[in-house]
Copies of this chain bind each other. A is one copy, B any other.
């Protein structure tokens, strides 16, 4: 049901939750911290999945499925890993009415159990690389949850690969970061910053972690995908070894990388406005909604309009995901509001006068009011719709890029940095010392989001301690 939502400027967090519930993307589950993904939200996720899965397959990866339950002893095999995940574990202690001798962990991530299987599957250099992805649910015990962004259970994909050399593993790590960037920019219209995480922000058990960082509508950062070079940490913990061409036993080099339902949160907060969701056409479950209009009790009008709608729908439906909203008992204005809340990129309005003139009104979701409306001839409407969808996809990316750039600044002075991270991203030289990072966090709640792959080169002085620094970091408050 449509409801007026809180403006973003008034309460961004309330706006976010109201949009999700109003657009029927998701709902709270009876178990605290868990989420129900409703059909409209799930279809959006299915489109995210399809866009990623296609790219994984194009880069040589296969899907598989590994078990939900992991022996507790596995988690304990890699020292940093257990330290990072122990506080977040859900533990099964009873099964089939009996207490278990060995408690089982509900997977928070699958490096350990997949590492165990790889140690059995990989014998020779001929078996490498192993390039496997899985689509699965994972559980991390969270107390402060928020729909899509942080839930106790979430859906994601986790890629796990094994390689013969450190170079190949690093190449894979960056390749998948690039795949994520490509998806975010071209499908989700989110201008992400790919970069390396700091030591304190990296994945427990990784040699190096990389992420794509996006700016939300309130200027905060959302880590929207990660790719980890795990070095030989897991291969040593799980004995993932291969015989090289000289018949010598070597440890593999492994990687892992993941994108989750969090991406849906990124889409909502990158593009949404005070009317609700704004979905990029590439991922929208419904790309075009057609609203036929006629006067009450005028069956002649209804007949003429619905005939035109049927022809139009058949034509447009060949290239686009289209829905006709011909429900009785709701006014056109009510329907406009509802589909705006649901973020459908393009609306077509058609009444008896339009039919007579052989026209329809096209309204773009990304441009509210008159500015986004145009009259188009019914002949060749499918092409006009395709062109508009393409234009909207580009416009969303452009708008988000401009917004990010307007809210990102280069800082040379610590006071400026403190002010900048209150509303956006701050780029500054950082020496790499965790104590400087801690200081920024204590002063501003902002953290280093990443060291962008795209660096200016040369060197500078750390924004905090003034020691020499080799890299620029992006500082921001993060979800």
Contacts and interface: CB of A to CB of B under 8 A. Distances in A.
A333 interface: no
Leading 10 A-B pairs by shortest Cβ distance: A96-B141, A39-B62, A34-B67, A37-B65, A91-B94, A29-B67, A95-B141, A93-B93, A90-B95, A31-B69
A321 to B, nearest CB: 12
Contacts of A94: 89-91, 93, 103
Interface in A55-106: 62-71, 74, 86-97, 103-104, 106
Q: How many copies does the complex hold?
A: 2
Interface in A319-378: none
A116 B30 contact: yes
Interface string A138-166: 01011100000000110100000000000
Nearest to A139: B68
B89 A96 contact: yes
A42 interface: yes
Nearest to A1: B123
B36 A66 contact: yes
Interface string A111-150: 0010011001100000000001000110101110000000
Contact of A104 (B31, B86, B104): B31
Given A30-B74, A69-B139, 4 more contacts: A30-B67, A68-B139, A90-B92, A97-B141
B63 A39 contact: yes
A64 B87 contact: no
Nearest to A97: B87
Contacts of A175: none
Contacts of A45: 65
A27 interface: yes
A91 B103 CA distance: 10
A35 interface: yes
Contacts of A303: none
B31 A70 contact: yes
Contacts of A387: none
Nearest to A96: B141
B132 A69 contact: no
A18 interface: no
Contact of A29 (B41, B113, B142): B113
Contacts of A36: 64-67, 117
A69 B39 contact: no
A141 B93 CA distance: 12
Contacts of A89: 94-97
A307 interface: no
Given A63-B46, A106-B106, A137-B137, A92 B95 contact: no
A113 B35 CA distance: 11
Scoring A45, A74, A141 by chain B CB atoms within 10 A of each residue's CB, the highest score goes to: A141
Contact of A63 (B42, B66, B67, B116): B42
Contacts of A137: 68, 136-137
